[in-house]
């Protein structure tokens, strides 16, 4: 019996463990200090009332013989798929309901989609990067190539014409850099994908944070349905991190290597997945209802205002940053030439504020730092005041 | 870009589609006939009240800031893992809570577990077989070898000493044959696995149907923790087919090829899975509570009584069958030398009863037929009476 030796090639990811360790050590030594955490990527506000009601109703239906639900369809209930399709229509993008696969979250789909591709494809990720794209492909034995995000492109990597890739992960608005692609930038990626006979795996998990007039879906770009799969999630849109529901869109027109990609993904899901819990699908559909959309906007506005508060402070301090406008993340350049971890320690000790060192997301993250807007309003304001004080002083 | 060409080697599975087609054609031509379906593998009774209440409470907690839950642990909440551990203790098997991984169902785990093994392992399945074991490994490019289940071993395949395998899927009580391994039989499989340096993937999805004094877990066998991973699900135990929750047990003592299997599976789940919905985990824990165990027994007894009714009819008719005692499935030999599909058509036309042709589960299923006990009591009784009439007549 041989194990999958590709796992040996994974770099242990100590980022959040190390953040937690240093934070806890500090708290143990300074029990009187109030530490504010702006490092978390998890939401904190509760589900919208209409979503909770739908989930409870779904649970009740499972308790009554006449309304009991057994195995769901692998691809999700039609009314949920239709709700996603209608949601896309609301911002002018045409996605057919039967191209929507409901899942237990974008992370599962991001990882599992690799099943349908050969191990000998080269995978392009932008650096800094959400580690799942890299690790899931290292597990599969694929070669990783990089497109650099840096100050020169506003931390929104563009296709490197000298590097060939078969599979391209894009995340826009980006985790961790908060940058979001414009229409013209996405056109360039679509052109690059077509030229290289590649497939774009587009992670739109943060699309609900987009405020400016930029695409909320790769399918806003003409021709994207011939080269892109889009993944999204209700985690950040509607606070579903603990509820678990996402969706992946595979256009029926997407063909590669003499195969219809939709058919292969369908077969993968039918074989290795058994659909999403009934009450969770009911909750997901409620998010897309008129009332649901109204209610989730309150939470989104709350986070967006936090992002604005943090961004304004950076503006005041004259610190370079990306994100904050179309994203819950503020990706900032550590002041005074400090390294990521150096700034982490500085901020923890002097301001008692926790963020995430950028180098945990890739080499281009060295010297950068991520703050998030998912915290409490009062804490965010207080953290920002403290940051202004200690950085102003230095 | 190359797709995963192993998908080309999958045999299209038309079994249930063909069953549905022939059934619907018959109904269309005979609208006056009352067709009874004993082919389904899905449960029909609602969730237990205490389970529904726990799920509703979980949903409510997501709607309140103070009790809101964000990202769950990849491996499940400790109180659910502990509940599974205590459940095993109740039938005398020692499983540590931290060896339990909570998931969205045994099917996902059965499929995804392959990620941690090399593609060059030989996979053994018993024939007839639950198709997921075969298809998920064909997708990964693994060679499949077979252990025959047939009348000579009571449709409970034993290790073929002349065939070497690295990964062995066992399902007991078995889908589709209903046979369940005795302690001595499992000892032989554990010995075989150890001799071949193989890992057993033990699917215990039907353990709650065991009535006789036989093992409900592979870990009832000494030494199994050095060679077996066990998967189970609440789908059949507690009617969770639409609720979606299962668990996989990976002993920390399981080592292969110089690697600790627990660590690799943990890394796989941390990278490609994001845990199970909070209300679903609350519901799962409720199943294992004292009240939950009492309530789910009512449903289990209902199905078991259906199985007894079908088995008794087979006894009366002198038809060879396996299952029915420790399983919701009755696997019977088609009477008068009929083929699986021949008997399907015969039963549909003469008795207006739908079952599942055995050959859909593998070559050893030819000439056999599966009936299930998941139907309504009155329908089960009526179906059995009709079967007795038409078979007695022939």
Partner residue opposite A105 with nearest CB, options B44, B64, B274:
B274
| Predicted confidence (pLDDT) per residue in A45-72, tens digit | 999 999 999 999 999 999 999 999 999 9
The two beta strands, B167-171 and B199-203, are parallel
pLDDT digits (tens, 9 = 90+) for A313-360: 999 999 999 999 999 999 999 999 999 999 999 999 999 999 999 999
Residues of A in contact with B256 (CB under 8 A): 1, 3
Q: What angle do CA B69, B70, B71 make, to 5 degrees?
A: 125
Q: Do B108 and A272 touch (CB under 8 A)?
A: yes
Please choose, from the candidates A261, A244, A215, A220, the residue with its C-alpha nearest in 3D space to the C-alpha of residue A99: A261
Task: Report the C-alpha dihedral over residues B64, B70, B73, B75, rounded to 10 degrees.
Answer: 80
**A393 in contact with B, Cβ within 8 Å:** no
Of A121, A264, A273, the CB nearest to B108: A273
Sign of the four-CA dihedral B165, B169, B174, B179: positive
SS (H, E, C) chain A: CCECHHHHHCCCCCHHHHHHHHHHHHHHHCCCCCCEECCCCCCCCCCCHHHHHHHHHHHHHHCCHHHCCCCCCCCCCHHHHHHHHHHHHHCCCCCCHHHEEEECCHHHHHHHHHHHECCCCEEEEEECCCHHHHHHHHHCCCEEEEEECCHHHCCCCCCCCCCCCCEEEEECCCCCCCCCCCHHHHHHHHHHHHHCCCEEEEECCCHHHCCCCCCCCHHHCCCHHHCEEEEEECHHHHCCCCCCCEEEECCCCCEECCEEHHHHHHHHHHHHCCCCCHHHHHHHHHHCCHHHHHHHHHHHHHHHHHHHHHHHHHHHHCCCEEECCCCCEEEEECHHHCCHHHHHHHHHHHHCEECEEHHHHCHHHCCEEEEECCCCHHHHHHHHHHHHHHHHHC
- pLDDT over threshold 90, residue A40: no
Q: Locate the chain A residue with the closest alpha carbon to B131.
A: A271
The answer to whether B169 and B125 have CB atoms below 8 angstroms apart is yes
Of the candidates B340, B345, B339, B307, the residue with the CA atom closest to the CA atom of residue B324: B307
With 0-12 / 13-18 / 19 or more C-beta atoms within 10 angstroms meaning exposed / middle / buried, residue A187 is: middle
* Interchain contact A166–B (C-beta under 8 A): yes
User: A12 pLDDT exceeds 90?
Assistant: no
CATH number of B49-291: 3.40.640.10
Cα–Cα–Cα angle for A388, A393, A394, rounded to 5 degrees: 110
Residue A34 has pLDDT above 90, yes or no: yes
Torsion A381-A383-A386-A387 (CA) sign: negative
Q: Which of B46, B166, B278 sits opposite A243 (nearest CB)?
A: B278
Which positions ≥6 away from A290 have C-beta within 8 Å? none
Contacting residues of B for A110, CB less than 8 Å apart: 272
pLDDT at A209: 98
Residue A265 · residue A98 · CB < 8 Å: no
CB-closest option in A72, A111, A118 to B3: A118
Query: What is A49-288's CATH number?
Result: 3.40.640.10
Name the CATH topology of A13-42+297-393.
3.90.1150
Can you tell me the distance from the alpha carbon of B95 to that of B237, in angstroms, rounded to the nearest whole number?
19
Distance CA B159, CA B148 (A): 9
Q: What is the mean pLDDT of chain A?
A: 96
B195 inside 8 A of chain A by CB: no
Strand partners, B201: B169, B229
The answer to whether A80 touches A281, Cβ cutoff 8 Å, is: yes
User: Nearest Cα to A98, choosing from A213, A241, A265, A257?
Assistant: A265
* CB neighbour burial string for B71-84, b if at least 16 within 10 angstroms, e if fewer: bbbbbbbeebbbbb
Any A CB within 8 A of B29 CB: no
**How many CB atoms are closer than 10 A to CB A257?**
17
Nearest residue to A332 via CA among A384, A362, A370, A365: A370
Chain B residues touching residue A44 (CB < 8 angstroms)? 65, 68, 70
Element (H, E) at B391: helix B377-393
Instruction: Give me the mean pLDDT over the A268-279 stretch.
Output: 96
How many residue contacts between A and B have a Cβ separation below 8 Å? 241
- Indicate if the pLDDT at residue A140 is higher than 90: yes
The answer to whether the CB atoms of B70 and A43 lie below 8 A apart is: yes
A residues 211..240 contacting B (CB < 8 A):
239
Would an 8 Å CB–CB cutoff place B64 in contact with chain A?
A: yes
Q: Does A279 touch chain B (CB under 8 A)?
A: yes
Chain A residues in contact with B268 by the CB 8 A cut-off are 7, 139
Q: A394 pLDDT exceeds 90?
A: no
Residues of chain A with CATH 3.90.1150.10: 13-42+297-393
Q: Is B10 in contact with A135 (Cβ distance < 8 A)?
A: no
Question: How long, in residues, is chain A?
Answer: 394
Asked if B274 and A242 come within 8 Å (Cβ–Cβ), the reply is no
Provide the 10 A C-beta neighbour count for residue A222: 9
Nearest to A258 by CA among B136, B7, B140: B7
Q: How many residues does chain B have?
A: 394
Query: With the C-alpha atoms ordered A308, A310, A316, A319, is the resulting torsion angle positive or negative?
Result: negative
Residues 6+ apart with CB under 8 A from A126: A146, A147, A148, A149, A157, A169, A170, A171, A174
Dihedral over Cα of B180, B185, B191, B197: its sign: negative
Q: How confident is the model at residue A393 (pLDDT cuts 50, 70, 90)?
A: low
Which residues of chain B, if any, have pLDDT below 50? 394
Q: What is the mean pLDDT of residues A212-219?
A: 97
Residues of chain B with CATH 3.90.1150.10: 7-46+293-393
Strands of the sheet containing B321-323, edge to edge, are B321-323, B329-333, B368-372, B356-357
Eight-class DSSP state of B336: G
Read off the pLDDT band of A284 (50, 70, 90): very high
**Measured torsion, CA atoms of residues B334, B339, B344, B345, in degrees rounded to the nearest 10:** -130
Asked if A280 lies within 8 A of B280 by C-beta distance, the reply is: yes
Q: What is the CATH number of domain B7-46+293-393?
A: 3.90.1150.10
Q: How far apart are CA B30 and CA B35, in angstroms?
A: 9
């Amino acid at each position: 019996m041989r194990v999958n030796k590709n796992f040996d090639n994974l770099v242990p990811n100590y980022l959040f463990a190390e953040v937690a360790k240093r934070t806890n050590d500090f708290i143990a030594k300074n029990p009187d200090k109030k530490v504010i955490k702006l490092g978390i990527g998890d939401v904190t506000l509760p589900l919208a009332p209409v979503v909770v009601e739908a989930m409870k109703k779904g649970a009740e239906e499972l308790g009554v013989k006449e309304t009991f639900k057994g195995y769901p369809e692998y691809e999700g209930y039609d009314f949920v798929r239709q709700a996603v399709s209608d949601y896309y229509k609301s911002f002018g993008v045409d996605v057919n309901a039967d191209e929507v696969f409901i899942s237990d979250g974008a992370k599962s789909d991001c990882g599992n989609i690799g099943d349908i591709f050969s191990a000998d494809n080269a995978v392009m990720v932008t650096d800094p990067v959400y580690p799942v794209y890299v690790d899931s492909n290292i597990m599969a034995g694929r070669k990783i190539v990089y497109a650099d995000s840096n100050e020169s492109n506003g931390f929104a990597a563009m296709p490197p014409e000298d590097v060939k890739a078969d599979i391209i992960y894009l995340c826009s608005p980006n985790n961790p850099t908060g940058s979001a692609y414009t229409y013209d930038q996405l056109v360039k990626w679509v052109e690059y994908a077509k030229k290289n006979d590649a497939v774009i795996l587009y992670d739109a998990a943060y699309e609900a944070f987009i405020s400016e007039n930029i695409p909320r879906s790769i399918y806003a770009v003409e021709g994207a349905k011939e080269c892109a799969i889009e993944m999204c999630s209700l985690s950040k849109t509607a606070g579903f991190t603990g509820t678990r529901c996402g969706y992946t869109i595979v256009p029926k027109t997407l063909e590669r290597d003499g195969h219809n990609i939709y058919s292969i993904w369908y077969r993968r899901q039918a074989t290795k997945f058994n659909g999403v819990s009934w009450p969770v699908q009911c909750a997901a559909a409620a998010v897309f209802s008129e009332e649901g959309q109204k209610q989730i906007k309150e939470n989104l506005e709350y986070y967006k205002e936090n992002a604005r508060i943090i961004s304004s402070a950076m503006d005041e301090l004259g610190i370079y940053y990306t994100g904050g406008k179309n994203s819950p993340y503020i990706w900032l350049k550590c002041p005074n030439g400090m390294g990521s971890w150096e700034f982490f320690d500085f901020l923890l000790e002097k301001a008692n504020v926790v963020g995430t060192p950028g180098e945990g997301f890739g080499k281009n993250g060295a010297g950068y730092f991520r703050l998030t807007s998912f915290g409490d309003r009062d804490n965010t304001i207080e953290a920002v005041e403290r940051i202004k004080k200690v950085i102003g002083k230095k």
